[in-house]
């Protein structure tokens, strides 16, 4: 298995990560039906604000992680927010999710980030158990605020 930090040249792998998220999260409408253009994804992958990591087995995407670097205003540092992390069903329980997070911690350290954070939904016991092994749990509330058109 190979863990790869995706670069603009890795667009096919990024589309593979999107397809994986659509499958694992049972949300093909969000992740697969209106995928961004190659130019958009290349621009995203070259930016400092976005991080994509793929787990590859024989060249195929079997796991993926998408994160955002949030530069802070109160100090010269940043936080990394794990937006999505998934492993294909047949490849679970083999340390792939842990390897993805470990690669992210290396990227975060290289960038001078001081923390990585992630949210898990109530009732998603596998995610809660996994993240509990890696870090300190904080119970917070999340609010979605509509954007006026």
Average pLDDT along the chain, 149 residues, taken 10 residues at a time: 96 98 94 95 96 96 97 92 95 94 96 90 78 78 77
In angstroms, rounded to a whole number, what is the distance separating the alpha carbons of residues 5 and 7?
Answer: 7
**Model's pTM, two decimal places?**
0.89
pLDDT value at residue 80: 96
Strands 50-57 and 78-87: unpaired
Give the domains, in start order, of the chain with CATH numbers: 2-134 (3.40.630.30)
**Helices and strands, counts by H and E, the chain:** 5, 5
């Amino acid at each position: 298995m190979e863990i790869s930090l995706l670069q603009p040249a890795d667009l096919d792998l990024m589309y593979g990560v999107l397809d994986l998220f659509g499958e694992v999260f049972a949300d093909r409408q969000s992740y697969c039906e209106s995928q961004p253009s190659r130019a958009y994804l290349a621009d995203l992958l070259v930016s400092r604000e976005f991080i994509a990591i793929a787990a590859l087995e024989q060249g195929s995407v079997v796991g993926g992680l998408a994160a955002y670097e949030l530069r802070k205003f109160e100090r010269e540092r940043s936080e990394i927010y794990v937006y999505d992390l998934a492993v294909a069903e047949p490849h679970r329980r083999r340390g792939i999710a842990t390897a993805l997070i470990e690669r992210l911690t290396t990227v975060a350290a290289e960038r001078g980030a001081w923390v990585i954070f992630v949210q898990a939904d109530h009732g998603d016991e596998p995610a809660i158990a996994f993240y509990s092994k890696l870090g300190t749990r904080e119970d917070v509330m999340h609010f979605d605020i509509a954007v006026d058109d």
